[in-house]
Amino acid sequence: MSFLLGVVIFVVAVLISVILHEAGHFITAKKFGMKATQFFIGFGPTIWSTQRGETEYGVKAFPFGAFVRITGMTTLDEVDPADEPRSMRNKPAWQRAIVMVAGSFMHFALAFVLLLFLALGIGQVTESTTTALGSISTCVPVSLKLFDEGSCAGSKGGSPAQLAGLKPGDKIIAIAGKPVRNWTQLGTAIRAQPAGQPMAMTVLRNGKRLILHASPAIVKGRHGSYLGIGAAVVFQRYSPVGAVTFAGSAFGQVLVGSADAFAKLPAALPDLFAGLGCHRPTVCKTRADTPAGDVSSVYGAADIAGQAVASGGGWEYSVSDLLLIVISLNIFIGAFNLLPLLPLDGGHLAVIIYERIRAWLARLFGRPDPGLVDLQKLVPVSVMVFGLLIGLGVLLMAADIFNPVHLVQ
């Protein structure tokens, strides 16, 4: 049930994002006096609509997006001569450019607001400096690399902490009879214990003292003995100024990460189905081990959102993870939509820029303004790009269905 809740919340968040995208186009178009005749949520047959002034607002049968219809967006549109003065193509280039950019701007604005909410309302996860336990490992990693990755691949049996009966929320106050008052002291004391020999631990659990015994293990390549515990974490909220700084920094990191994931896409395609059907992860290269593990479709993002809620750990974790997924998706879509490719908004923006450069060169050489670009000549390019995007989307969705990437628990 919690998995389904996460998926539903994600789907609603995506729908809101798309509506805001179209609202960006709509509001700026109306602001500049362009005629907008329709603003609908969804596609297909109309379920409900109402006329307000010159604009029809409504809901379609299939709520998989939204659209706004602005009169005369391109030279391909047929426009009533009476409406031509208010057509988008008849407006100054800077106004048309703002309308085109407004959709991505709404994605960026939503992401920034959600980052502020995350910083002010929930905060950032910070490890506690006390000796309280936040997690108990279920294994002894077989190598330092797998230890760093938090992987139990190839290991056998539980960790010394698990076998000793330690639980999240316990507070270790002494190791081998010596008091420990912070996480640094605790770690030093554990690493100093002889591996394979019983070690007494004094533990506070629900206000009661317990004496538990564990035999620390060795992780190949790691210094000192291993118990298998993780520090408790707290969510530290930011001040208003700190929240703005955090939001700006996180926005930049996600934007760079999105560009990096997009750059890896060509190399990722051959590995989308890597490891499919393999039952020996220690010898098989899986999708998660390749750049293909960093790219996904909307279906994959919804699956990860469901996993984030189902994984538990407290509402702060679930809300934080969901927000970060929605934030990342909005930043990626906003940036991707600005690529200079028709039929994306960035493609139309590139056409506008080209028109202005061409007009400037014409004035420079004393020639008349060539006017608007005839988009009829670019229709084959638009169709090809659209087809490639659909094909890529279907391929990524198939990979997410048949070879999904699961969250590491």
Q: Would you name the residues annotated as active-site residues?
A: 22
On the 0-12 / 13-18 / 19+ scale of CB atoms within 10 A, 178 is exposed
What's the rounded Cα separation, in Å, for the pair 384 and 400?
Answer: 24
CA–CA gap between residue 116 and residue 56 (Å, rounded): 34
Measure the CA–CA gap between 409 and 403, rounded to whole angstroms: 18
Helix (H) or strand (E) holding 263: helix 240-268
Task: Say if residues 56 and 70 touch (Cβ distance below 8 Å).
Answer: no
Instruction: Kindly report whether the peptide bond that precedes residue 343 is cis, defined as omega within 30 degrees of 0.
Output: yes
* CA proximity to 177, closest of 211, 208, 145, 148: 211
Is residue 145 a contact partner of residue 219, using CB atoms and an 8 Å limit? no
Half-sphere exposure (Cβ direction) of 290: Cα atoms closer than 13 Å:
19
| 271 touches 287 (CB < 8 A) | yes
200 bridge partner residues: 213
Q: In angstroms, how far is CA 293 from the centroid of its own chain? A: 13
d(CA 3, CA 321): 13
Distances (CA, A) of 327 to 154, 250, 251, 255, 301: 35, 10, 9, 10, 12
Tokens 């896409």 belong to 265
Beta bridge partners of 174: 179, 202
DSSP letter for each residue of 109-121: HHHHHHHHHIIII
Contact 54, 39 (CB under 8 A): no
Secondary structure (3-state) at 145: helix
Give the separation between CA 118 and CA 124, rounded to whole angstroms: 8
